[in-house]
Structure 1
């Protein structure tokens, strides 16, 4: 795991476990590889609020961002997803590995309320690796804003 994520977790005194699960192509594959529920695989999504202004949104694996709810919470009319290169520039991590821990910028964190009280995994800054930790510890150390900001994953 890149040193920045583990160093940030160690510095915040957040207990965690590094799990090397190998390559996965989806949240469902990650859940299967980790033996966890899809809802406990938490995606860290980088959202652009404005020029050089981003937030991390922590989304349970079985849910998607509700753009109206997130815009209302942040008090903005427009949000967007940056392209992969911009997200890497803003965080230091590639898409699929992003974690708020050890990011090159300490952007604010918004977590969906359904994350609370769970044992979850987050990206670890490296492909095929996850960080397992108590969601409440992570939210506390990140000073996350916790709110209802997601909707159920639409059926496929």
Structure 2
């Protein structure tokens, strides 16, 4: 499938991936009621699903925090790595405005603004599933290639849920 034939969010993801030389596999998936159900539907473990979280800094700029399933942002750890005293999760409409993606579809790929990326160290070393810019779709991408494509900061930024 060419990125011209994909819905608008997919097209942005595919075009950005191509521009970065990053191989992604975008695929339709049924709705899931839990992380475990989503992982089962995709034939992977919950830890292989990476959440792309939009985080707002006190100066009004944003960053992406990539955190594997079953883990949450550790705010003290992330603040230390970013070098700030305050970070917060913005409201859904603010995240949409900052990225062009609705919650549940967010990915750094194709974001309307290229915010810095911070990846939890536990997501590296294998293929992961992420949002693909449209509801009902996900993508597979090599985590290390994604980190390299963005020059992401890799650090311990999460804790088990």
TM-score range, shorter chain: over 0.9
Q: Which residue of 2 aligns with 1:128?
A: 136
Count of residues paired in the alignment: 153
Q: Which residue of 1 aligns with 2:97?
A: 89
Tell me by how many angstroms 1:63 deviates.
0.7
Q: Deviations over 1:39-92 (max 9, x none)?
A: 000000000012430000000001111011001111111111000000000000
Q: Distance in 1 between matches of 2:94 and 2:29?
A: 27
Q: Which stretches in structure 2 are left out of the alignment for 5+ residues?
A: 1-6
4+ residue runs of structure 1 moved beyond 4 angstroms?
none
Alignment of 1:1-156 (within 5 A): 1=7, 2=9, 3-153=11-161
RMSD: 1.0
TM-score using structure 2 length: 0.91
SS in 2 for 1:120: strand
Tell me by how many angstroms 1:22 deviates.
1.9
Moved more, 85-94 or 42-51: 42-51
Q: Are the equivalent residues in 2 in contact too, given 1:24–1:128 (CA < 8 A)?
A: no
TM-score using structure 1 length: 0.94
Q: Distance in 1 between matches of 2:36 and 2:113?
A: 29
Q: Which stretches in structure 1 are left out of the alignment for 5+ residues?
A: none
